[in-house]
Structure 1
Amino acid sequence: MSATQVPGPGANVAARRKDLGLSQVAIARRAGVSVSLLSKIEVGDRALTQGVGAALARAMDLTLDELLGSAPEENLNELNYAIRRFDIPGEPPEHPERLQQEVDKLNQLRWNTELARIQIRLPSLLANVTSHAHLTGEPRAWTLVADVYGVIYWLAARHRWMHLAELATMKQRIAAERADPIAAIVAARDDAGTFLNSGDFTGGLAIIDRAVVQAESTLTGRERAFGLGVLHLRGLTLAGRLKDKQTMKRYVEAAWRAADEFPEEVAKHGMQFGPEQTATHVISTSSDMDQHRKALDTAEDLIRAGMTLPANRVAPVYMNLGRSQLALGDQDGTIDSLEKAWAAAPEMANVHPTSLELTRVLASQHKRSNPRLTNLVKKAGIIL
């Protein structure tokens, strides 16, 4: 089976392998996984994890995003035009005093996971903040440019448009060189994200380690704690994908120390950080490390306490909870978690590889009719 909008990750493994004319035995040997596991992933008996996916991608000489599949790149001409004109300022914006407010509105759409509305707003806002930054040369103005490119990266990563994501982080880094110091730290975090999305987890960790040193020497106070916190969380995710327990422990301990500075979640530069955000990453990484009971316990504690996080963080909590529930054989719990992910962030659930993969595996495993699952399959565009 395959998705009509975004190829189901596990199903795409089989399609890519067959396109290359390679056997399961050959790919499994190259990737260092068992033939049995590969077979189960391809037919939908097991969910494809990001770590195994990266190994299979390398075995096929692909990047992870190429293996997982991506959404069609539609209506990007205006955005690409605005990106190309990074060094060619246009007309000054009519109301430069409103630019910060407009960027804040854009980030609110990001937190609400309104992907379509973000894509519509980006070209004109990017052109305006870029022109204003060239006109004034102020670090604050260039920070706005870097922040908008951070949103472009986020949008591209959600759809797995990785060429656009990498272009966005390149422009983000250039803008950050002229911006406030925190912009460079956020840009490094997003740059490491392109390594994460392509399956180069070791390269991503190198970016994070270098950025941590930079943050420690350039930032102070709560801004320092925020910058280090978002870096440590990205490092935690990368270490989990590598199943590197020692590095994972180092990052999670550092993230909790940074979170101690924030009794409540804070939002800056399109991101949130604090105790809840740290807990969401512990849930995800625990699932990556096959520590499913820990993932469930952490998720239950977080949900019971009442999450204050926005939709773009709530939905992944439920997706990762569903990963661990499925791994432990709780199919009904997985369906419940997927429904909550869709309720929190439907546009994200519609393109997220975890949502698609869990739905594909549930559809393969269920032998009896289940209206709730049928509804999820229909929304995800899975063909049975």
Structure 2
Amino acid sequence: MPTPRTELVELRGAWGLSQEELAALAGISVSTLGRWERGETKNPTPNLKALLSKALKIESAKELVEVLRPTGSGFAVNNAGVADAGATPNAQVAVSVGNADDLGRVHAVVPRLRRVLDAFDLPEDGPTRPLGEIRADVVRANEHRLEARYGVLADELPGLLTELARASQLVVGEEQRQQVASLRALAFRAADGLAFKFGYLDLSARLIDLMRQSAAAADDSLLVAASEYVRTENFFANGDLFTGGRALVKAANAVALSNRDLPDVAAAYGSLHMRAAVVVGRIGDGRAATDHLREARRAAERAPEGVYHGTAFGPHSIRIHELAVAAELQDPAGVERASAWQPPMELPAERRSHYYIDLGRAQLALGRYDDAHGSIEMARIAAPQHAREHPQVRSTVGALLQLRPGHSRVVELAAWAGARAV
């Protein structure tokens, strides 16, 4: 019986690629890639290996061997490129591609990030590129954050922040000063993507404060709104959801003074209401959550799905937040409505993973244990590094482990996520 190449599937997912996208990058047919992933064919020929390595940014022959090794981690890949949780189980623990190494890189970089921030006004001497080149790296860093490529992001952040510190000292004129401040704000946001998700809450709070200061210095009202969106992490961390909700409403009202017919403005306004819906949903205020979602939908009529100042917003993102609200309110009808849809591949991997994490915990609460397990598997495929570190994944899988002791696929998932029976 064919043994799936799970690590190949997960690496494709980590880069946010569909089978069609990876096949196009590697110059092969989708059916050929599907047979490789399902383990129905032997390893690719040397020339095809080279194309695959380039498409997946694999740097060594050893890493390629690991990626192409049949692993059979408890789920297979069907012809549509989707994981089937009902495949032949394997009791061995299969770690997602690069996770052990990537997670180590993230934790190792945190002391370096702290040192860079401590000396931000006293940067080391070194080259400083034109702002256009730095801007391209800041954009790429936030793409890594949105696609949950945390190991790659960890590698790039210290040098990028150090160069931005130097650039901040070298600016000439108000226009350049605002440009560098804008880049700083977005770079601090990318760094917060690591700090918050990996539990460094003090560092996260510091980065959020620096982002807010930089956004104000940039004199960019939409960047200020984005920083207020991110600031909600502080309120989630300290449990002060009422203040978090008020902060979001205040920020949304400030955006409302602008021209909301412009897509960027509508997205800033709508994203604040989208996040406020989840905050008040967690408090248990269903009526307020409905009102916030209504405002977000109105804004989405003027803002197509996209990434605005580092935040994904649009009709698809709202549907993901509708599910999050239903999960917070433990609303079975809302969960059913939201789960009748699946997030498209063009959405950032982190956001798709969030959808399946929320769906899994909602299905668990409804007693649909097999569905809950399948949803967490889908979250792992969408963004393995994101799912593995998410506390709701651990709590959901821990509950499944308690409810299904000895279930081989649940045991494997629990070992991968570091979850314990609850």
1:115-134 matches, within 5 Å, as: 115-134=150-169
Q: In the alignment, which residue of structure 2 is the partner of 1:359?
A: 397
Question: In 2, are the aligned partners of 1:276 and 1:302 still within 8 Å (CA)?
Answer: no
- Residue 241 of structure 2 aligns with an amino acid whose one-letter code is F
Q: Which has the higher contact order (CA 8 A, sep 6+)?
A: 1
With over 3 angstroms needed to count, the CA separation of the structure-2 counterparts of 1:231 and 1:130, relative to structure 1, is farther
Paired with 2:390 and 2:309, the residues of 1 have a C-alpha distance of 23
Unaligned runs of 5+ in 2: 1-103
Paired with 1:207 and 1:120, the residues of 2 have a C-alpha distance of 33
Q: In the alignment, which residue of structure 2 is the partner of 1:289?
A: 329
SS at match of 1:267: strand
Instruction: Answer yes or no: is 1:382 the counterpart of 2:422.
Output: no
Paired with 1:293 and 1:375, the residues of 2 have a C-alpha distance of 31
Residue 377 of structure 2, aligned match among 339, 349, 356? 339
Once the two structures are TM-superposed, the CA of residue 273 in structure 1 deviates from its matched residue by: 0.5
Question: In 2, are the aligned partners of 1:325 and 1:333 still within 8 Å (CA)?
Answer: yes
Once the two structures are TM-superposed, the CA of residue 317 in structure 1 deviates from its matched residue by: 0.7
SS at match of 1:87: coil
Q: In the alignment, which residue of structure 2 is the partner of 1:257?
A: 298
- Residue 222 of structure 1 aligns with an amino acid whose one-letter code is P
Residue 102 of structure 1, aligned match among 103, 117, 137? 137
Residue 266 of structure 1, aligned match among 306, 324, 328? 306
Paired with 2:295 and 2:122, the residues of 1 have a C-alpha distance of 41
Question: In 1, are the aligned partners of 2:395 and 2:419 still within 8 Å (CA)?
Answer: no
Q: In the alignment, which residue of structure 2 is the partner of 1:209?
A: 249
Unaligned runs of 5+ in 1: 1-70
1:101-128, Cα deviation, whole Å (9 max, x unpaired)? 1011111211220122212211111122
Paired with 2:264 and 2:335, the residues of 1 have a C-alpha distance of 29
1:315-349, Cα deviation, whole Å (9 max, x unpaired)? 11111111121111111111111111111111111
Question: In 2, are the aligned partners of 1:103 and 1:144 still within 8 Å (CA)?
Answer: yes
Residue 191 of structure 2, aligned match among 152, 167, 174? 152
Residue 88 of structure 1, aligned match among 122, 132, 142? 122
Paired with 2:336 and 2:122, the residues of 1 have a C-alpha distance of 51
Paired with 2:170 and 2:295, the residues of 1 have a C-alpha distance of 40
Q: In the alignment, which residue of structure 2 is the partner of 1:238?
A: 279
Instruction: Answer yes or no: is 1:325 the counterpart of 2:378.
Output: no
Q: In the alignment, which residue of structure 2 is the partner of 1:138?
A: 177
Q: In the alignment, which residue of structure 2 is the partner of 1:228?
A: 269
Question: In 1, are the aligned partners of 2:394 and 2:420 still within 8 Å (CA)?
Answer: no
% identical equivalent positions: 24
SS at match of 2:353: helix
Q: In the alignment, which residue of structure 2 is the partner of 1:17?
A: none
Q: In the alignment, which residue of structure 2 is the partner of 1:172?
A: 211
Paired with 2:120 and 2:130, the residues of 1 have a C-alpha distance of 20
Once the two structures are TM-superposed, the CA of residue 290 in structure 1 deviates from its matched residue by: 0.8
- Residue 189 of structure 2 aligns with an amino acid whose one-letter code is G
1:124-156, Cα deviation, whole Å (9 max, x unpaired)? 111222322342243222111001111122222
1:149-170, Cα deviation, whole Å (9 max, x unpaired)? 1112222221121101110111
TM-score under structure 1 normalisation? 0.76
1:266-293, Cα deviation, whole Å (9 max, x unpaired)? 1122221000001111101110001133
Number of equivalences: 310
Paired with 1:157 and 1:296, the residues of 2 have a C-alpha distance of 30
- Residue 137 of structure 2 aligns with an amino acid whose one-letter code is E
Once the two structures are TM-superposed, the CA of residue 186 in structure 1 deviates from its matched residue by: 0.8
Question: In 2, are the aligned partners of 1:318 and 1:340 still within 8 Å (CA)?
Answer: yes
Question: In 1, are the aligned partners of 2:322 and 2:338 still within 8 Å (CA)?
Answer: yes
Looking at CA atoms only, which structure, 1 or 2, has the larger radius of gyration?
2
Question: In 1, are the aligned partners of 2:226 and 2:311 still within 8 Å (CA)?
Answer: no
User: How large is the RMSD of aligned CA atoms in angstroms?
Assistant: 2.0
SS at match of 2:312: strand
Paired with 1:182 and 1:314, the residues of 2 have a C-alpha distance of 24
Q: In the alignment, which residue of structure 2 is the partner of 1:13?
A: none
Paired with 1:129 and 1:163, the residues of 2 have a C-alpha distance of 22
SS at match of 1:350: helix
- Residue 164 of structure 1 aligns with an amino acid whose one-letter code is L
SS at match of 2:341: helix
1:74-123, Cα deviation, whole Å (9 max, x unpaired)? 43121111212333355451343211110111112112201222122111
Paired with 2:196 and 2:336, the residues of 1 have a C-alpha distance of 26
With over 3 angstroms needed to count, the CA separation of the structure-2 counterparts of 1:80 and 1:218, relative to structure 1, is farther
